[in-house]
Structure 1
Amino acid sequence: MPPNSSVTVVPLLRLPPLEPRPADAAKPEAPEPRQRRRLVSRRAILAGIGALALLSAIAAGGLYFDYSRRFVSTDDAFIAARQFAVAPKVPGYITAVPVTDNQHVVAGDVIARIDDRDYRVALAQTEAQVAAADAGVSNIAAQIEVAQAQVTASEAQVRQAEARLVYARQQAERYGTLTKEGWSSRQTGDLTVAELAQQQAALGSAQANVMVARRQLDALEAQRSSAIASLREAQDQRDQARLNLSYTTVTAAQPGRIVQLGAAVGQFAQAGTSLTMFVPDEIWVTANFKETQLDALRPGQPVRFEIDAYPERTIRGRVASVQPGSGTAFSLLPAENATGNYVKIVQRVPVKIVIDNAPTDVALGPGMSVLPTVRTDAKPSLIERLGEWL
């Protein structure tokens, strides 16, 4: 184009870019074979983990079921004991109480002392009565010895009189014959006859003396029996006085704990009045199992306890016995199911469980809550076998 020529420049219109049609849109690129393999392997791993978890859950559930079916437990269980009241057998003023509340005592420990002066005086009186009765028995025994000597002497006199009578009879017969034949005087014959009668009378008197001596001996024997009975009565009274004196010291009959102590120095204690409650060391657990659980319970089965007061302690024991009847059957007002409408309720049956290793450093007493678990099958479970194997 020549230089000095005029040229008109027309600007070009800019059109907006055309949007690609859906048919013309770019297609997603297909994954490469390597990425596809990774995706497949991840899915397989997740599926394997899920299957393994499912199998593990089934196995754990089976193991737990196998383990748990060997045990029965209840939360309706409490510690029990034969607690009783300690009371004196004789009345009197209390002079000493050497124990305090909740103190542990052993058999023979003194719980309270009662003023024993009156009982010592009573014992001294009965001992004096025993001594007097014993002296009476000895006196009668001496009299019996004298009476026996009198009986012996009287019997000797009887024998002597019998001998004289025999001689007098012989003399009378001899002089009677001589008198008839004229060899002796009639006066001599009469004398021999009189002598015979005299000796017969002497024999009768001697025999009567023997009878009297024997009767006196029998009377003394009866007196001695009465004196011996009096002596025994006095001895019994003395023994009772000794017992009453010993009762002034109230002691523990067995090991246990003092509970609710009410005795105080200066208090007048009546015979039979409670001084304190006593809880023996011998305790056990009364577990009220449902009657549907009794089929698996047998005496001697091991038990594990968990005490609410001491949750960190595990105590062991064993089943002792099962009560022959439900708890309501032995209550003060047993249920009467034969009247009115009836709704069946699972009954509770008390089971006595003894404790083998009761702790001594803590206080266990009646009424404390316990959670017992009884093992009903002695065979080891799969979990226990696995634990032993590991």
Structure 2
Amino acid sequence: MSTALKKYEKTDRILVRITYLVALFILIGLIIWGVFSMIHHWRYETTNDAQVKEYINPILSRTNGYVQEVKYKDHEHVKMGDTLVVLDRNEALVQQDIAKAKLRAAEAQLHVLESNQNTSNVSSGVNQSQINAAKAQLYQQQKEYERYKNLLDNNAVTPQRFEDIQTKLKVAEANFESVKRSYQTSLSKTTDVGAQIEVAKATIQEKKADLNKILLDLKYAIITAPTNGYMGKKNLQIGQLVQKGQTIGFIVDKNQSKWIEANFEETQIAALHEGQKANITIDAFPGETFKGTIEAFSAATGSQFSLLPPDNATGNFVKITQRFPVRIKLTDNENSLEQLRAGMSAEVSVPK
């Protein structure tokens, strides 16, 4: 056998031994991994169908208008009360001037009616005095008539004189009735003016409400941050028309804590309960473990809350293991949770 051939055989034996050793190490590693995995699955209920959750609040416009300024950038940190968007207020300012003018006109009309009411009250007082005077005059003429009637019966006065007294009595009676009607008319006028005053007061309240609405529109033209947090993507442009109730953006609320939403299979739910501790690892930070506590279970599977929940009575039934959303409260301090962002994938392990 040549020297070269012996050299190749020796090399092959070395490669085979190395291959056996590598295969042995891999097998040992797989066995160890399998043992630890079995122990882990025996001790924990786990799921990798989990995400970091935060409250993402929509920011709505409360009035109509054209965008004049956009004062935030994509993903910018803002504080509660910071100005985000300014809408054009020129039209609302004109409407405010018109509303103020209408309010002043309504108030002036009320003053006129109140003056008319005072005049009517004075007239009623004058008519009351005239009634008293006419009543006294009528009483005097009635007594005069009775006296002259007795004199006429005794032929102590001429018929011409009695007729004159009788005419004066009729005039006094007519005057008394006229004054009473004038008094009633003045009272009716006072009542009418009182009703008009109530209408004028209601009109003033209406004009004040219109003015307050315009003032609110002016206030709502400046859209501010409802809470501390991070803005989402900016979609508004200057000059864009914004309608009342339109969503102009989203803000990730930092005033409320983050949590984990873990979707456990229905076969795992029996081993879980509220208050149970949980270990969470985040895919973005593989070397770090976060602590949590099970806070609540969903009242139904996730599929039942979908837009079109499945109907197993249709006949095309395929049994699929369902998942229940489980809310897990993160118990680490806020500083350590600051690096977490909504939507990050997580893996949750709950000790049995």
What amino acid is aligned across from residue 299 of structure 2 in structure 1? P
Question: Aligned with 1:159: secondary structure?
Answer: helix
How far apart are residue 174 of structure 1 and its match?
1.9
Maintained 8 Å contact 2:67/2:242: no
Alpha carbons of 1:337 and 1:139: their partners in 2 closer, same or farther (altered >3 Å)? same
Alpha carbons of 1:137 and 1:319: their partners in 2 closer, same or farther (altered >3 Å)? farther
How far apart are residue 114 of structure 1 and its match?
1.8
What amino acid is aligned across from residue 96 of structure 2 in structure 1? L
Question: Aligned with 1:338: secondary structure?
Answer: helix
State the percentage of identical aligned residues. 27
1: CA distance, partners of 2:206 / 2:194? 18
Residue in 2 that maps onto 1:354 = 329
Residue in 2 that maps onto 1:157 = 130
**How many residues matched?**
311
Gaps of 5+ in 1: 1-60, 377-390
How far apart are residue 102 of structure 1 and its match?
1.5
1:125 aligned to 2:101?
no
Deviates more, 1:133-142 or 1:295-304: 295-304
Residue in 2 that maps onto 1:366 = 342
Larger Rg: 1
Question: Aligned with 1:261: secondary structure?
Answer: coil
Instruction: State which of 145, 148, 151 in structure 2 corresponds to 1:178.
Output: 151
What amino acid is aligned across from residue 369 of structure 1 in structure 2? S
2: CA distance, partners of 1:217 / 1:277? 60
1:334 aligned to 2:309?
yes
Gaps of 5+ in 2: 1-35
Residue in 1 that maps onto 2:88 = 115
1:206 aligned to 2:182?
no
2: CA distance, partners of 1:160 / 1:104? 86
Residue in 2 that maps onto 1:267 = 239
What amino acid is aligned across from residue 293 of structure 1 in structure 2? Q
What amino acid is aligned across from residue 300 of structure 2 in structure 1? G
Alpha carbons of 1:374 and 1:205: their partners in 2 closer, same or farther (altered >3 Å)? farther
2: CA distance, partners of 1:210 / 1:356? 84
1:320 aligned to 2:320?
no
Higher share of residues assigned helix: 2
Alpha carbons of 1:153 and 1:304: their partners in 2 closer, same or farther (altered >3 Å)? farther
Higher share of residues assigned strand: 2
Residue in 1 that maps onto 2:319 = 344
Scaled by the length of structure 1, the TM-score of the pair is 0.71
Alpha carbons of 1:157 and 1:260: their partners in 2 closer, same or farther (altered >3 Å)? same
Maintained 8 Å contact 1:88/1:269: no
Scaled by the length of structure 2, the TM-score of the pair is 0.78
2: CA distance, partners of 1:252 / 1:175? 97
Residue in 1 that maps onto 2:164 = 191
2: CA distance, partners of 1:344 / 1:275? 43
1: CA distance, partners of 2:157 / 2:288? 128
What amino acid is aligned across from residue 259 of structure 2 in structure 1? W
Question: Aligned with 1:124: secondary structure?
Answer: helix
Alpha carbons of 1:305 and 1:160: their partners in 2 closer, same or farther (altered >3 Å)? farther
Maintained 8 Å contact 1:279/1:365: no
Question: Aligned with 1:332: secondary structure?
Answer: coil
Residue in 2 that maps onto 1:256 = 229
Offset from partner CA, 1:81-114 (integer Å, 9 cap, x none):
4424434334444333222221222321111112
Maintained 8 Å contact 1:315/1:358: no
